[in-house]
Structure 1
Amino acid sequence: MALMDFIFRWLHVLFGITWIGLLYYFNFIQGGYFKKATPEGLKDAKEKLAPEALWWFRWGAMFTFITGVLLLVGVKMSYGSFNAYIVAGATMGTLMFLNVWLIIWPNQKIALGMVEGDGPKAAGKALLASRTNTLFSAPLVFFMMAGPHFQGLGGGYGLNASGSTGLWVVLAIIAALEVNGIAGKQGPLASVVGVIHCSIALALVMAALLVYV
């Protein structure tokens, strides 16, 4: 069991690096290039580069999610409960995975001209969901590390999350941000600097809620 847990954890990190690395590439690099590229360069990137990157992106998300579920099953079988960090992190990771497959990928296909539809509108929906995933990324990684290791401050396997007021507040914040990511506005997430600052701030706020509330 310990060996399988280690293997799933190793694969989870490898797939997660692929997924989040490409998420950062799309948000921090490709988006800026698309605004500055020549018509010929933009056309070539949309036809060849972006679809290839999106393939690795969405399947990285898929296998990160699958290995994450396997890890959760292992923790449940071994310890019987989840701490607040694991619950919050698993919630964010699941929403991020769903954003990839249900919002970002379908709308990117339209924006890239792979299928028919309103390209500019689809691009806006995909960007907002992608920015939301980028916003979630810093707290997600914090929770992933804090879940087993933040001993003495609510971490460590076997601690039960039930009754945690801070967790309910964090879950409400996550839900509100996800709703905005589906049908809201970019606001401070519109710029690269803005989404980075917001992601780090969100991680700090959520960590404080789980530790002190």
Structure 2
Amino acid sequence: MSKWFDESLERIKKATGTRTQVQLAEILNIRQSSISDAKRRSSIPAEWFIKLYRTHGLNPEWLSDGIEPVYLKPGKGKIAADQILSETTAQYGQVQSRGRIVPVSSMAGEDAGAEVWKPQQVSELSIPETYYRSSLVVLKAEGSSMEPSVRRDAFVGIDDSQKRLMAGDIYAIHVPYQGVVIRRVFFDPENSRFILRPDDSQHPEQYIPVENHEKHVVGRVVWVMQEL
């Protein structure tokens, strides 16, 4: 029974990209002690399988017994189990960490005209585990205003816990009735505002007031995946 438990737990960890009990507890939204209890009993609660089906679309039979397909939930990408379980070799022969599937939102979000931007999933993306963080929001870039730094159709990783604006850094900013824009941010003390500057000078600058600017900031851009 312990062998079954170890193999099942390993599939759960690899499919979710978790390495520690703390990370797994966060994914399952349970206490870390619950994982220790499960290990002691060599038994995985059925609620774990249900949660992982709902949150990740994972097939409970694959998690439990390794029976493919990996995914069941509609809209989730179906990939072979051995693709999840294997590690891939990155450039220069370095071992790259296992991937994780994350939701991708449109820049418009649920309602572009709303005062507070909320993501609306339009697709999914497999990213290296090292790219993931619990505060990650992934957008698909629209337009060419930030080329060549961020090209049209690039996938943009945003840390929504980093809302403090630092001059010259790239942020995702919510502009009402337009949605999210990706811009370099600069402070304009003379006019008490922040300048949202595109990398492509053919596109106009935009501005947000210093007062209550936090409500406009979705987060700081931490990585970009795009074709060169």
Tell me whether the two structures share a fold, i.e. TM-score over 0.5.
no
Question: Which has the greater radius of gyration?
Answer: 2
Instruction: Tell me which protein shows more strand as a share of its residues.
Output: 2
Query: Which one has more relative contact order, counting CA pairs under 8 Å at least 6 apart?
Result: 1
Q: Give the alignment's TM-score, normalised by structure 2.
A: 0.28
Instruction: Tell me which protein shows more helix as a share of its residues.
Output: 1
